[in-house]
């Protein structure tokens, strides 16, 4: 049969009165639509009439033909409409471009309508159900995916379409009966091995568990609506708990994200009740994970639930939940592995003039960051004369820096700061009021996030300052308020809030600014309506810009992690006439949507960045992009590329900091390429921002992982030593030197908890408040809250740290510490060759030539007189002398060549030694990029309780031999500082003696 060249004959049948002919025409046109759609398009109106004819027997067929015609005409909405009308005739199993396109359009339309229906109650709108025909297509697509085992595809659509039932159906199908279907929570469908659990059931359970983990990861990364995400995660917890072998660590991660303290407490109780060695070890690991990733309020609720249970392991869990073991272990790691390069710090101190307060502050903060958490305060002790030049608020910052250095040193924090703390008696008072205020701030930093032991002391100083009054009392109140805010972070303690509110109402600019900020820190993430109303009302009433700014940032802290719940407040703040409150509204967006990548929030920030009339607001808008997108750092350079070239220097500064915040610790080359031109920016504070951001990005990077890091370090030193460089740029370079080598080169800046994948609350708050150093230098110390130790530390069930090793499948040099700076020795001046005139050179050449000719003539005369044999004896002697001279002249070159060859050989030997793979001792530095190369052998004595998934931190290890078999272990700093009678071995690290300094009054 000859191939058709036209559809005219078939189209003519559409006008026939006989319906059978019309059906015949449509059946053939359906097959030929992709080839003759241009001709059929002229008759599409007639085809639509047949579809609308109620008496036509094949109206669905007419709809399908019309759909294909409109698809070829690129009218996809019309095509989808008729495809839905075709019903079952629209076959989803056919793998054609037409079917895939229409299904995609149907899914998009269904997702849109489902999301509108889900959000309708919150927006007080009537709920509109999606089109039943649309639902039918999507349901058939879901069924096909489940039958073919494409569970992840179906789950992806279901997450966006708000279909919890479909997610459950996919997981149930993956388990293949591995879940109970009923209502009894205690019933287990899978029995243990004794009762005959088969391999297929085990595989099904593993597949289902992986699918639940996938739902968790996808929900965290892709679902923007918090209410829907929480619903999904709550359901995942129920599904996991009904497994025969639940993944308790996944449950704990979900509960942390949901902020479900009661369920987390119940999970620990269930594990303790089980009272087996594996369950107790899991409980200990979960307790460590909770300490590293939750707030004080969360931990307090968990402790309250666990305290009443008397069972084996309860005391150990409570000890871990106190946070003391975690801080002791991290402090010991930083103390033992401190690799600070003091030569850099001393050179910066000698270069920057200490009489200038900004330079004194710069060196103070650099020292604080370099030694953060290491307890190494020797720089202050060795430079008391330099320290004595600190005046007023510089002295406040210098004392506060001690808190950064001793952060986490709970056992000695109070005793170390006692010489500076306020006292009831004047004889015992700690120096000037600035030192006293700074020491209270330092005390809060030492106990940051674990302040129950010092909160009462700090509150007493707040009350005493309120009673005494005066300018000096304001300074003490300022320090006490900051200390209370840091130590009581996220406790949501109403009593502390009321005391801070009393300071605020005194209308003191100095104390009020700290009080407003501290109120937000104490009520962090609570979203308290009472606190919001009071703080916003006072911000409208006061005339002090400092107080308004403190309250603006405090209000933003209240809405931390609230996402859509903060939208009403954000709208209100951005509509304010006061730019300081609009500034607070921008930080509210940053903290409420931190790490979500929310498109609405990003669009809003970009709009404000180019439209607001105030430079501070625009700068904050661009910086805030870093908070929103820190989980997707590669997207930020593309987003701020144009902003980094803005005519407004504040926008350029914001772009620099956005790169630093989002790409911290990554060494991302795209971010570096944008920051390098900013180092030559004509505006000093833009250069400052670029220097700080470079340090944040290059923290813990060496030349193997980031080749440009060496030149960047030289840039920092060059900016500091340059006499004509602006003070602000030098300040930024000094901070950069402290950040890039922070914590003895053993910490990074991480805004996400690696153990649970949730937001790192302390780090995010620390960076957000650190950015306020633009207005107030003492707030620079807050950056230390974001410093996260990078280590793998294995602990036994008795919380001791055994000595053992694990394997790293990479070259040792790849993740090694950067080399320390070599001290330059004084060079001996080289002798310079004397300049010789050309006329003199020619005269000497002529004289030498005449002497040579004369000598040759005399030699000829001697030859004639002597025998020939004598001449033959002299010639070799002369040749030997000439040859010896030549050899002597060439000897240095030969020696140099030999030395060069030796160096090359040594390098070859080093390369051979630097083989791939080596063992690392417990409690060693492990960089985030190094974690994927780490592995634990099952044959070793100590193995992690939870499956190692490149998380790092503190890992509870199972002792496969038993605790009774002795093994060497590492003592913590607290154990080393115990009195001899309370410890087994001699203490290694005595308590450092307190020191004081006197102000140089002549300055």
Mean confidence (pLDDT) of the chain: 83
pLDDT digits (tens, 9 = 90+) for 116-174: 888 766 555 566 677 788 888 888 888 888 888 888 888 988 998 888 988 888 888 88
pLDDT for the residue numbered 449: 85
Best CA proximity match to 748, nearest among 831, 630, 840:
630
Q: How confident is the model at residue 983 (pLDDT cuts 50, 70, 90)?
A: low
* Stretch among 98-107, 200-209, 707-716 having the lowest mean pLDDT: 200-209
- Concatenated DSSP letters of 80-91: HHHHHHTGGGS-
All residues at 6 or more sequence positions from 188 whose CB lies less than 8 Å from its CB, including other chains: 180, 242, 244
Which comes out higher in pLDDT, residue 306 or 825?
Answer: 306
pLDDT digits (tens, 9 = 90+) for 87-120: 888 888 888 898 889 888 888 888 888 888 887 6
CA dihedral 180, 182, 186, 188 (to 10 degrees): -20
Per-residue pLDDT, averaged over 773-786, amounts to 94
Distance of CA 691 to the CA centre of its chain: 19
* Stretch among 176-190, 243-257, 614-628 having the lowest mean pLDDT: 176-190
* CB 919 within 8 Å of CB 807: yes
pLDDT for the residue numbered 123: 55
pLDDT digits (tens, 9 = 90+) for 475-496: 999 999 999 999 999 999 999 9
pLDDT for the residue numbered 494: 92
Which comes out higher in pLDDT, residue 949 or 736?
Answer: 736
Q: Is the pLDDT of residue 179 over 50?
A: no
* CB 765 within 8 Å of CB 557: yes
pLDDT for the residue numbered 628: 95
pLDDT for the residue numbered 1: 41
pLDDT digits (tens, 9 = 90+) for 64-81: 999 999 999 989 889 998
Residue 943's DSSP bridge partners are: 958
- Concatenated DSSP letters of 726-738: -HHHHHHHHHHHH
Backbone angles phi, psi at 150, to 5 degrees: -85, 65
At residue 920, the 3 state secondary structure works out as strand
Percent of the chain with pLDDT over 90: 45
pLDDT digits (tens, 9 = 90+) for 402-434: 999 999 998 888 888 998 988 765 445 557 889
* CB 75 within 8 Å of CB 69: no
Backbone angles phi, psi at 921, to 5 degrees: -80, 150
Q: How confident is the model at residue 327 (pLDDT cuts 50, 70, 90)?
A: very high
pLDDT for the residue numbered 223: 84
- CA 622 – CA 630 distance, rounded (Å): 13
pLDDT digits (tens, 9 = 90+) for 331-369: 999 999 999 999 999 999 999 987 888 999 999 999 999
pLDDT digits (tens, 9 = 90+) for 539-566: 999 999 999 999 999 999 999 999 889 9
- CA 809 – CA 829 distance, rounded (Å): 48
Per-residue pLDDT, averaged over 915-942, amounts to 87
* Stretch among 45-54, 265-274, 459-468, 735-744 having the lowest mean pLDDT: 459-468
Q: Is the pLDDT of residue 194 over 50?
A: no
Tokens 């996808």 belong to 218
- Concatenated DSSP letters of 931-970: GGGEE--TTSSEEESSPP-S--EEEEEEESS-TTS---EE
At residue 795, the 3 state secondary structure works out as strand
Per-residue pLDDT, averaged over 847-868, amounts to 59
pLDDT for the residue numbered 188: 38
Per-residue pLDDT, averaged over 817-825, amounts to 76
Per-residue pLDDT, averaged over 82-89, amounts to 87
* CB 491 within 8 Å of CB 298: no
Residue 752's DSSP bridge partners are: 759
Which comes out higher in pLDDT, residue 256 or 843?
Answer: 256
Distance of CA 518 to the CA centre of its chain: 24
Q: Is the pLDDT of residue 887 over 80?
A: no
Q: How confident is the model at residue 830 (pLDDT cuts 50, 70, 90)?
A: low
Q: How confident is the model at residue 330 (pLDDT cuts 50, 70, 90)?
A: very high
| CA distance to 89, 101, 627, per residue, from 79 (Å) | 14, 10, 42
Q: Is the pLDDT of residue 786 over 70?
A: yes
pLDDT digits (tens, 9 = 90+) for 668-693: 999 999 999 999 999 999 999 999 99
Which comes out higher in pLDDT, residue 608 or 121?
Answer: 608
Instruction: Count CA within 13 A, CB hemisphere, residue 562.
Output: 22
Q: Is the pLDDT of residue 772 over 70?
A: yes
Instruction: Count CA within 13 A, CB hemisphere, residue 758.
Output: 21
Q: Is the pLDDT of residue 735 over 90?
A: yes
pLDDT for the residue numbered 198: 59
Quick one: CA dihedral 382, 388, 391, 395, positive or negative? positive
| CA distance to 338, 387, 442, 821, per residue, from 405 (Å) | 12, 16, 9, 22
pLDDT for the residue numbered 2: 52
- CA 598 – CA 587 distance, rounded (Å): 15
pLDDT digits (tens, 9 = 90+) for 205-237: 777 778 888 888 888 878 888 888 899 999 988
* CB 624 within 8 Å of CB 605: yes
Per-residue pLDDT, averaged over 650-669, amounts to 95
């Amino acid at each position: 049969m000859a191939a058709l060249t036209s559809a005219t004959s078939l189209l003519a049948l559409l006008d026939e009165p006989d319906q059978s002919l019309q059906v015949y025409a449509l059946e053939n046109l359906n097959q030929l639509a992709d080839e003759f759609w241009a001709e059929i398009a002229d008759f599409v109106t007639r085809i639509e009439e047949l579809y609308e004819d109620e008496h036509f027997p094949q109206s669905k067929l007419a709809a399908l033909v019309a759909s294909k015609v409109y698809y070829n005409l690129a009218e996809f909405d019309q095509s989808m409409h008729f495809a839905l009308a075709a019903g079952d005739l629209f076959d989803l199993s056919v793998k054609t471009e037409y079917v895939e396109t229409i299904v995609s359009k149907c899914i998009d339309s269904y997702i849109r309508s489902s999301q509108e229906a889900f959000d309708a109650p919150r927006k007080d709108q009537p709920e509109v159900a999606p089109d039943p025909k649309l639902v039918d297509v999507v349901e058939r697509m879901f069924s096909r995916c489940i039958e073919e085992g494409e569970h992840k595809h179906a789950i992806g659509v279901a997450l966006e379409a708000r279909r919890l039932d479909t997610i459950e159906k996919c997981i149930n199908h993956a388990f293949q009966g591995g879940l109970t279907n009923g209502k009894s929570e205690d019933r287990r469908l899978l029995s243990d091995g004794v009762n005959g659990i088969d391999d297929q059931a085990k595989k099904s359970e593993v597949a289902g568990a992986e699918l639940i983990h996938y739902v968790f990861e996808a929900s965290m990364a892709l679902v923007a609506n918090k209410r829907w995400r929480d619903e999904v995660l709550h359901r995942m917890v129920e599904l996991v708990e009904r497994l025969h072998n639940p993944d308790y660590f996944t449950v704990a991660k979900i509960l942390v994200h949901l902020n479900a303290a009661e369920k987390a407490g119940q999970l620990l109780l269930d594990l303790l009740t089980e009272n087996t060695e594996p369950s107790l070890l899991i409980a200990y690991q979960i307790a460590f994970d909770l300490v590293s990733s939750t707030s004080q309020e969360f931990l307090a609720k968990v402790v309250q639930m666990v305290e009443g249970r008397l069972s084996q392991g309860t005391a150990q869990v409570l000890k871990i939940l106190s946070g003391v073991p975690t801080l002791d272990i991290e402090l010991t790691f930083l103390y033992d592995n401190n690799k600070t390069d003091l030569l850099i710090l001393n050179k910066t101190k000698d270069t920057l003039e200490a009489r200038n307060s900004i330079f004194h502050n710069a060196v103070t903060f650099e020292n604080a960051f370099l030694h953060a958490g290491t307890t190494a305060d020797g720089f202050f002790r060795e430079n008391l004369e330099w320290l004595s030049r600190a005046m007023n608020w510089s002295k406040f910052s210098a004392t506060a820096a001690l808190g950064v250095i001793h952060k986490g040193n709970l056992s000695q924090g109070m005793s170390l700061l006692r010489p500076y703390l306020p006292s009831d008696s004047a004889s015992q008072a700690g120096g000037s009021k600035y030192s006293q205020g700074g020491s209270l701030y330092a005390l809060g930093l030492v106990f940051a996030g674990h302040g129950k032991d010092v909160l009462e002391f700090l509150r007493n100083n707040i009350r005493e300052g309120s009673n005494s009054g005066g300018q000096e009392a304001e300074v003490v109140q300022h320090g006490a308020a900051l200390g209370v805010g840091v130590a009581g972070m996220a406790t949501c303690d109403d009593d502390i809030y009321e005391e801070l509110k009393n300071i605020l109402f005194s209308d003191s600019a100095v104390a009020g600014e700290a009080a407003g900020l501290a109120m937000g820190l104490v009520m962090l993430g609570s979203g308290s309506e009472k606190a919001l109303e009071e703080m916003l009302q006072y911000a409208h009433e006061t005339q002090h810009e400092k107080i308004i700014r403190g309250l603006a940032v405090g209000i933003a802290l209240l809405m931390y992690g609230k996402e859509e719940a903060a939208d009403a407040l954000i709208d209100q703040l951005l509509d304010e006439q006061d730019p300081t409150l609009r500034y607070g509204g921008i930080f509210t967006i940053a903290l409420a949507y931190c790490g979500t990548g929310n498109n609405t929030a990003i669009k809003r920030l970009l709009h404000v960045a180019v439209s607001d009339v105030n430079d501070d607001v625009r700068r904050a808008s661009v910086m805030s992009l870093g908070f929103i997108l820190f989980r997707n750092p590669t997207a930020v350079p593309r987003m701020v590329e144009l902003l980094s070239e803005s005519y407004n220097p504040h926008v350029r500064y914001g772009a620099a900091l956005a790169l630093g915040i989002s790409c911290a610790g990554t060494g991302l080359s795209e971010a570096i390429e944008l920051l390098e031109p900013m180092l030559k920016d004509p505006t000093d504070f833009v250069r400052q921002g670029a220097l700080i951001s470079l340090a944040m990005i290059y923290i813990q990077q060496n030349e193997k992982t980031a080749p440009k890091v060496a030149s960047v370090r030289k840039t920092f030193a060059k900016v500091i030593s340059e006499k004509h460089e602006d003070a602000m740029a030098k300040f930024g370079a000094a901070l950069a030197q402290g950040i890039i080598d922070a914590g003895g080169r053993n910490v990074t800046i991480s805004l996400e908890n690696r153990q649970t994948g949730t937001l790192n609350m302390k780090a995010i708050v620390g960076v957000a408040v650190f950015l306020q150093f633009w207005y107030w230098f003492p707030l620079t110390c807050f950056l230390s809250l974001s410093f996260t130790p990078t280590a793998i530390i294995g602990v036994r069930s008795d919380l001791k740290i055994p000595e053992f090793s694990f394997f790293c499948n990479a070259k040792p040099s790849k993740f090694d510490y950067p080399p320390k700076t070599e001290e330059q020795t004084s060079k001996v001046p080289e002798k310079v060759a004397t300049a010789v005139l050309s006329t003199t050179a020619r005269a000497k050449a002529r004289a030498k030539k005449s002497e040579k000719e004369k000598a040759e003539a005399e030699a000829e005369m001697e030859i004639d007189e002597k025998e020939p044999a004598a001449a033959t004896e002299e010639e070799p002697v002369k040749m030997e002398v000439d040859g010896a001279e030549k050899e002597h002249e060439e000897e240095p070159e030969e020696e140099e060549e030999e030395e060069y060859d030796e160096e090359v050989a040594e390098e070859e030997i080093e390369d051979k030694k630097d083989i791939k793979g080596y063992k690392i001792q417990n409690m060693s530095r492990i960089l985030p990029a190094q974690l994927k190369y780490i592995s634990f052998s099952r044959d070793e004595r100590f193995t992690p309780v939870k499956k190692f998934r490149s998380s790092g931190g503190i890992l509870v290890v199972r002792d496969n031999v038993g605790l009774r078999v002795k093994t060497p272990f590492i003592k913590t700093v607290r154990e080393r500082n115990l009195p001899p009678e309370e410890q087994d071995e001699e203490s290694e690290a005595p308590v450092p003696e307190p020191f004081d300094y006197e102000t140089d009054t002549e300055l």
